[in-house]
Each structure stands twice: as structure tokens, then as C-alpha cells.
Amino acid sequence: MRCDGARAVHEATILAQDFAADQGLSSLAAARLAIVIEELVTNAIEHGGVAPDDPVDLVISAEIDKVRIIFVDPGLSFDPRLAPVATPDPEGRGGGAGIDLIKAWTEIVDYRTAEGLNRLELLLPLDGGDEAEE
């Protein structure tokens, strides 16, 4: 996938939605997956300096009770585990809320940077994702 702004965000979100449908995820789990993916790609573009021609890798795989997400990009190094909790900004776009959602909804398994690439691995639990929680 190439990271060309809004189109890349849209394509990644569609990929997440298609994956969720193929795997029969609950609507809550599907929505969380799509939002996490959207935030990863958006942040790489808006804050990580990923250019339109830069390739990013996105791997989504199903496991017994979770979804594994691996995102690799050539942007600025950023370990979301070290990000402070965002302070709401009623005047702005609410920056930082996406990282807080990622940290709340997923387990950050690994982050590393090597040879100019960031690799982030997340697990999105599927337990508790029944329709009653919506």
C-alpha cells in the first residue's frame, strides 16, 4: 500500500472492514479494528512524515480470540507506549485521542525501529466484543 493521504486512509479502513466481515467479527470489534487502522495510517501521514510515495505495510491476521495488526512505515520513530495521555483540546481537532484509543483497545506487543522503518505490532482482543457493549 502506498501512503497517499486520504486515499490511503480510506483504503486501509476498507481493508479493515472487509477483514472484519470475512472473519465474522462483532460490530463492536469491527468498528474498533477500523478505527485503530484509520488512526495508525492517519498518524503516520500527519505526524510521522510519511510521504505520498512511501510504502507502508499493513498485516491483519485472525487468531483464536484476537486480531493481530502489524504496521510498518518509514516515518519518524514513535513508540505509542511512551505517548502521554492526551489532554482534550475543545478548540482543535482533539489531537492525541487516537493514540489513547489504540492504547485502550489494543495490547501493544512490540514496537521497534530499524533501518529507517518503524514496526508496530498490536493485539486487538475479541472477548467482550458482543453486541451488548455497543
Average confidence score pLDDT of the chain: 85
Model confidence, pTM: 0.84
Three cell numbers, residue 63: 487468531
Cβ-proximal residues to 129 (8 Å cutoff; 6+ apart), any chain: 25, 26, 28, 29, 32
Residue 83 has pLDDT above 90, yes or no: no
Going by the DSSP 8-state scheme, the letter that residue 130 receives in this structure is: S
Question: pLDDT, tens digit, for every residue of 23-82?
Answer: 999 999 999 999 999 999 999 988 899 988 888 899 999 999 999 999 999 999 999 888
Going by the DSSP 8-state scheme, the letter that residue 86 receives in this structure is: P
- CATH fold of 6-133, please? Heat Shock Protein 90 (3.30.565)
If you average pLDDT over each of 80-84, 116-120, 123-127, 130-134, which comes out highest? Answer: 116-120
CA distance readout (Å), 10 to 5, 18, 28, 79, 101: 9, 12, 19, 24, 19
Position with higher pLDDT, 53 vs 116: 116
pLDDT number for residue 131: 41
| Domains of the chain, residue spans | 6-133
